[in-house]
Amino acid sequence: MARVCDITGKRTQTGNNVSHANNKTKRCFYPNLQKKRFYIPEEDRFVTLKVSTSAIRTISKNGILPTMRKAVAKGFLHKSFLKPTQEA
């Protein structure tokens, strides 16, 4: 499972650990991702997303549906998240 935010597209970055003697070793900087369940009142359903903490702040400010639409437009989120699942 990739460490990528579904809303902002934030992903793992690489860099260096730098010691006091200025020795450098490769390391990874991981985004602060949380698996969170959001309620979409317009569609009367829940959706579970893997989002960064900054994305949670964006969602609480702008709302879940407009934020998801922007993420789909930018290509971070698949468009199947926008429509409800068909249940027989």
- Residue 58's CATH number: 2.30.170.40
Q: How confident is the model at residue 81 (pLDDT cuts 50, 70, 90)?
A: confident
* 25 in a structural domain: no
* 28 in a structural domain: no
Tens digit of each residue's pLDDT (9 = 90 or more) over 9-63: 999 999 999 999 999 999 999 999 999 999 999 899 999 999 999 999 999 999 9
pLDDT score at 62: 96
Task: Please tell me the pTM assigned to this model.
Answer: 0.82
Q: Which helix (H) or strand (E) holds 74?
A: helix 64-74
3-state secondary structure of 25: strand
Distance CA 16, CA 26 (A): 5
pLDDT score at 79: 87
Examine the pLDDT at 88 and tell me if it is beyond 60: no
61: domain range? 1-15+34-79
